Amino acid sequence: MDELFENDRVRTLFLYLACMWGLEYDVAGVGYLVPLMINRATHYRLCARGSHRIAHLLGKILVKNGGMIWCGVPVTKILVENGEAKGVELANGDIIEAEKAIISSLDPYHTFLKLIGEEKLDPEFVTRIKDYKWEEWSLFVVHMALNEAPNFKAASKNPDVNKALMCIIGYESEEDLINHWESIRKGELAKPAFDVRFPTLHDPSQAPFGKHTGLITEFAPYELKEGGAEVWYKIRRKHAEQCIEVLSQYAPNVNKKNILGIYITTPLDIENKFPDMVKGSIKQGAYYPLQMGFMRPNEYCSDHSTPIKKLYICGASSHSGGMANYGPGYCAANKIIEDLGIPKNWEEPEFIKKAREAGLI
């Protein structure tokens, strides 16, 4: 960022765009990922009527093609015999046998250590699983139901500000962003600074007619220096109010009169709702050099197969990581049907064809 940009605020903007997708501002060895992170940020998309519709649609496709979905019955064990995955055991005691494969989208710790157990795994492989690292940060989120759309002060000079898909608030300099990261590493809450979005400006169907929604998303530590992770239950509402107060300095009409209600999510809430997001890890694991590309999550599982026959992995802890890009599932599907000798019923993406023709892959 220092090499490419001279203006401090522009530098701060692009540094934030890189960080918001998973990189820490000073992590070494992953500079090659910065263009990818900025590309993803500038191609940010909003799912019509809410992102939950994607999951519902995929569920319908699965059922339409003969699949079944069990809800509310966790898997407690992956059954392994002679190095081969045979099935899964559910919390209610039912056993589902696997004819062709078992595919886990959980993180490596849960898949291998919790559901299989160290005694059935090679000691060196167990060591690599235990070496897997989580992010040092998570997210604090405030969802808002609004009576009217926001009106930013900056819109007096540039009306398009009120139509932005995302605004970054509270960072006035690169130093502010760096100080925020350092506070997180110390387990401290810095002065609120975040990105804020108002989905209904672009998709009115996500709220009753004439009303709006908004969400504040802030980098935050999982464990706080004073009180650990549990203290989030005590301070969550106060911190949410502080975030809204900072936002109102930029958009004065986002105030108590305009806000109909809020819903707060802390890093601890993320872990409680999604156990595979250990310590609120939104990427199922940090973006470090030895945990990316052909090393994600490790050299034993980087092609989505595992040392256990018929057991495969996908999800954000495998290549190509998080951010709802569908890469891990797509890559895993290619590997699985190749191993099973099943013909593909989809074509290779155009950008992959071009990369192959150019000799890049």
Please tell me the pTM assigned to this model.
Answer: 0.91
Q: Mark whether 126 and 147 lie in a shared domain.
A: no
> For residues 37 and 34, what is the distance between their CA atoms, to the nearest angstrom?
5
pLDDT computed for residue 101 by the predictor: 97
Q: Mark whether 112 and 179 lie in a shared domain.
A: no
Domain count, the chain: 2
pLDDT computed for residue 4 by the predictor: 87
Query: Does the pLDDT of residue 30 top 80, yes or no?
Result: no
Tokens of 139: 């997210």
Tokens of 8: 């401090």
Residue 310 covered by a domain: yes
Q: Mark whether 242 and 193 lie in a shared domain.
A: yes
pLDDT computed for residue 45 by the predictor: 84
Percent of the chain beyond pLDDT 70? 100
pLDDT digits (tens, 9 = 90+) for 100-124: 999 999 999 999 999 999 999 999 9
Residue 343 covered by a domain: yes
> For residues 307 and 82, what is the distance between their CA atoms, to the nearest angstrom?
12
pLDDT digits (tens, 9 = 90+) for 265-292: 999 999 999 988 999 999 999 988 889 8
Residue 45 covered by a domain: no
Residue 4 covered by a domain: no
Q: How high does pLDDT run on average in the chain?
A: 93
pLDDT digits (tens, 9 = 90+) for 123-177: 999 999 999 999 889 999 999 999 999 999 999 999 999 999 999 999 999 999 9
Tokens of 227: 């009180």
> For residues 57 and 227, what is the distance between their CA atoms, to the nearest angstrom?
42
Residue range 57-61: average pLDDT?
94
**Is the preceding omega at residue 318 within 30 degrees of 0, hence cis?**
no
Residue 25 covered by a domain: no
> For residues 15 and 177, what is the distance between their CA atoms, to the nearest angstrom?
8
Q: Mark whether 177 and 210 lie in a shared domain.
A: yes
pLDDT digits (tens, 9 = 90+) for 301-347: 999 999 999 999 999 999 988 877 889 999 999 999 999 999 998 88
Q: Mark whether 223 and 253 lie in a shared domain.
A: yes
Strands 138-146 and 212-220 come out as antiparallel
Residue 201 covered by a domain: yes
Which residue among 246, 273, 300 closes a domain? 273
Q: Mark whether 298 and 339 lie in a shared domain.
A: yes
Q: Mark whether 194 and 269 lie in a shared domain.
A: yes
Q: Give the domain extent around 313.
A: 52-133+283-357
> For residues 314 and 276, what is the distance between their CA atoms, to the nearest angstrom?
13
Residue range 75-88: average pLDDT?
96
Query: Does the pLDDT of residue 179 top 80, yes or no?
Result: yes
Q: How confident is the model at residue 209 (pLDDT cuts 50, 70, 90)?
A: very high
Residues 6+ apart with CB under 8 A from 218: 139, 140, 141, 192, 193, 194, 243
Q: How confident is the model at residue 358 (pLDDT cuts 50, 70, 90)?
A: very high
Q: Mark whether 224 and 341 lie in a shared domain.
A: no
pLDDT computed for residue 111 by the predictor: 97
Residues 6+ apart with CB under 8 A from 253: 148, 150, 151
Q: Mark whether 169 and 120 lie in a shared domain.
A: no
Residues 6+ apart with CB under 8 A from 323: 21, 22, 40, 283, 316
3-state SS track over the chain: CCCCCCCHHHHHHHHHHHHCCCCCCCCCCCHHHHHHHHHHHHCCCCCCCCCHHHHHHHHHHHHHCCCCCCCCCCEEEEEEECCEEEEEEECCCCEEECCCCEEECCCHHHHHHHCCCHHHCCHHHHHHHHHCCCCCCEEEEEEEEECCCCCCHHHHCCHHHHHCCCEEECCCCHHHHHHHHHHHHCCCCCCCCEEEECHHHCCHHHCCCCCEEEEEEEEECCCECCCEHHHHHHHHHHHHHHHHHHHHHHCCCCCCCCEEEEEEECHHHHHHHCCCCHHHCCCCCCCCHHHCHHHCCCCCCCCCECCCECEEECCCCCCCCCCCCCHHHHHHHHHHHHHHCCCCCCCCCHHHHHHHHCCCC
pLDDT computed for residue 360 by the predictor: 85
Residue 36 covered by a domain: no
Q: Mark whether 79 and 160 lie in a shared domain.
A: no
Residue 90 covered by a domain: yes
Which residue among 230, 251, 273 closes a domain? 273
Give the CA dihedral 307, 93, 114, 289, nearest 10 degrees: 60
Which residue among 247, 273, 299 closes a domain? 273
Q: Mark whether 263 and 344 lie in a shared domain.
A: no
Q: Mark whether 149 and 111 lie in a shared domain.
A: no
pLDDT computed for residue 22 by the predictor: 80
Contact by Cβ (8 Å): 108, 297: yes
Tokens of 313: 């992995």
Percent of the chain beyond pLDDT 90? 76
Q: What is the CATH number of the domain that holds 110?
A: 3.50.50
